Amino acid sequence: MTDYKTIPTPRKEACMSALTDLSLTEALAKLESREVSSLELTQAHLQQIERYDPQVQAYLTVSADLALEQARAADAARARGESAPLLGAPLAIKDVLSTKGIETTCASKILKGYVPVFNATAVQRLLDAGMVMLGKLNMDEFAMGSSTENSGFFLTRNPWNLDYVPGGSSGGSGAAVAARMALGALGSDTGGSIRLPGSFCNLAALKPSYGRVSRYGLIAYGSSLDQTGPMTRTVEDCARILQVIAGHDPLDSTSSKAPVPNYLDAMRQGVQGLRVGLPKQYFGEGLQREVREAVMQAVEELEAMGASVQDVDLPYSDYALAVYYIIATSEASANLARYDGIRFGLRVEKGDMIATYKATRGAGFGDEVKRRIMLGTYALSAGYYDAWYGKAQAVRTLIKRDFERAFEQVDVLAAAVSPTTAFKFGENSADPLQMYLADILTVPANLAGVCGMSVPCGFDDAGLPIGLQLLAPPMREDTLLRAAYAYEQAHDWHARKPALVS
């Protein structure tokens, strides 16, 4: 599916890698001052993709022709004196987001060949802000997974060590940005899918509050949990993308009408007086030694910068994983009913209509997706509904209240993103429960609708990145960015580069 044939040979070989090393913010400054053109920047990224993606396999589709056309248009617009927040910046999009005229598969064979006739609102807003779209990124099928091993097409490798997973489900987004094959990317997070690959790939990665970013055109997994958000190499880059995609959308009735603050201003306010909470339940058994040490060190540094630190209690945390896997699978079983071979993508004709449905779904969905549909259908079925789905919803409310109470005492919560750093291919994939445990520290935020972020905070003994997770109340992405930015400024973790692309 990946199409490399139209990638031109770049003219200035030597400076190409320097161009792909720029952060989004630095690249925008160079575009603005005309030091570099969008065409040069885009060609450099396409060259980087040509060079590294055969190993990393982050892209499902490279839209090279479109990108070059958009880059020329961006340069022409700038020459006419026009400006826009992301004018001429090459970014890439997780394949869960609908892109008009460009195949959108959710990494599922059942959507092979599906070409949307509209753009997701988040994508449209990036295009309106001047993005150059490099292509569509690999993921776990329908965003179900934590390693990108569940892609229906191929797995994506972690640029920090090709034997390790990049995390999931937005693993293509994480790997592409870490390998300098895009200045930034969009991911989606239902239970951790932005933050987890963010932490495994050493990125700044932000899951907005539920309702902060429109879900229109985001192919639904768990509709009460899903959010789209940015994955970049710096906190400032994250803020820039969030600024563009946040805000009410009449096409998504769950999108919030709350005003969108100026994130770049908010980010720079420092952490003097900021109250940081450490959820006791997030520091229990099973936390890898280096992860615990790096997170505690980061918290001490926030304290040294003027923040106050206290323990907080989230007593219902122990139930979050179970509740999540009932609610997410229940919603998925309903959302995925539409893939029946009639309207979208794959169709396996088999005599009558019911037989065609069955044959199409049997051939089109992968094992994990089938497992989730069965779990969800069971949880919703008559006779079991109250015991499973009903109970899960009740406990979800208790989890939400835990966060409300905690945020009466503190402004942000700090923890690890995942109990461990990236794991090897196959290490968790034979045992679904083991894989689900990677999400234990990320799913509560989705259940409660709060915002969360992963920020690079160190490396383990094997040289794999560690992420600091910060959580803030609904619609307080400004606070999240403020804490993340202050921490990032004191370190160079985010500036380190995988050996592969050095």
Q: Half-sphere exposure of 278 toward its Cβ, with a 13 Å CA cutoff?
A: 18
Which residue from 201, 191, 185, 335 is spatially nearest to 245, judged by alpha carbons?
185
User: Is 63 a known active-site residue?
Assistant: no
Which residue's CB is nearer to ligand GLN, number 52 or number 200? 200
Which residue's CB is nearer to ligand GLN, number 37 or number 335? 335
Among 146, 173, 209, 232, binds ligand GLN (CB under 6 A): 146
Write down the catalytic residue from 23, 193, 256, 317.
Answer: 193
User: Least separation, in Å, of the C-beta of 110 and ligand GLN?
Assistant: 17
Q: Segment contacting ligand GLN (CB under 6 A): 26-34, 191-199, 210-218, 253-261? A: 191-199
- Does residue 86 come out as left (phi exceeding 0), alpha (psi in the -120 to 50 range) or beta? alpha
User: Is 169 a known active-site residue?
Assistant: yes
**Tokens at residue 492, please?**
């160079």
Q: Segment contacting ligand GLN (CB under 6 A): 35-43, 80-88, 184-192, 447-455? A: 184-192
Among 439, 477, 478, 488, binds ligand GLN (CB under 6 A): 439
The one-letter amino acid code at 414 reads A
Which residue's CB is nearer to ligand GLN, number 127 or number 443? 443
> What are the backbone angles phi and psi of residue 312, rounded to the nearest 5°?
-130, 165
Among 169, 281, 333, 454, binds ligand GLN (CB under 6 A): 169
In the sheet where 204-207 sits, what is the strand order?
Answer: 59-62, 132-137, 90-94, 184-189, 227-232, 204-207, 451-459, 465-472, 412-416, 275-279, 308-312
Contacts of residue 492, defined as CB under 8 A and 6 or more positions apart, other chains included, come to none
Q: Segment contacting ligand GLN (CB under 6 A): 19-27, 97-105, 139-147, 460-468? A: 139-147
Number of residues in contact with ligand GLN under rule CB under 6 A: 13
d(CA 187, CA 105): 14
Which residue's CB is nearer to ligand GLN, number 12 or number 424? 424
Which residue's CB is nearer to ligand GLN, number 2 or number 190? 190
User: Least separation, in Å, of the C-beta of 395 and ligand GLN?
Assistant: 17
Q: Half-sphere exposure of 200 toward its Cβ, with a 13 Å CA cutoff?
A: 38
Beta bridge partners of 137: 59, 94
Which residue's CB is nearer to ligand GLN, number 23 or number 190? 190
The reply on whether position 328 binds ligand GLN by CB under 6 A is yes
Which residue's CB is nearer to ligand GLN, number 52 or number 164? 164
The reply on whether position 209 binds ligand GLN by CB under 6 A is no
User: Least separation, in Å, of the C-beta of 18 and ligand GLN?
Assistant: 34
CA distances from 144 to 154, 347, 499 (A): 15, 22, 29
d(CA 43, CA 76): 16
Which residue's CB is nearer to ligand GLN, number 229 or number 458? 229
User: Is 454 a known active-site residue?
Assistant: no
User: Least separation, in Å, of the C-beta of 247 and ligand GLN?
Assistant: 22
Query: What residue has token string 């450099």?
Result: 44
**Tokens at residue 3, please?**
């199409």
Write down the catalytic residue from 23, 38, 63, 94.
Answer: 94
User: Least separation, in Å, of the C-beta of 236 and ligand GLN?
Assistant: 24
Q: Segment contacting ligand GLN (CB under 6 A): 74-82, 124-132, 187-195, 340-348? A: 187-195
Q: Segment contacting ligand GLN (CB under 6 A): 45-53, 116-124, 186-194, 416-424? A: 186-194
d(CA 50, CA 69): 18
Footprint of ligand GLN on residues 253-312 (CB under 6 A)? Answer: none
Asked if 44 and 19 touch (Cβ cutoff 8 Å), the reply is: yes
Among 24, 46, 137, 143, binds ligand GLN (CB under 6 A): 143
Among 190, 317, 418, 454, binds ligand GLN (CB under 6 A): 190
Q: Half-sphere exposure of 442 toward its Cβ, with a 13 Å CA cutoff?
A: 36
Asked if 119 and 127 touch (Cβ cutoff 8 Å), the reply is: yes
3-state secondary structure labels for all residues of 254-299: CCCCCCCCCHHHHHCCCCCCCEEEEEHHHHCCCCCHHHHHHHHHHH
- Per-residue interface string for the shown chain with ligand GLN, residues 378-417, x marking contact by CB under 6 A: ----------------------------------------
Residues designated catalytic? 94, 169, 193
Which residues are near ligand GLN by CB under 6 A?
143-146, 169, 189-193, 221, 328, 439
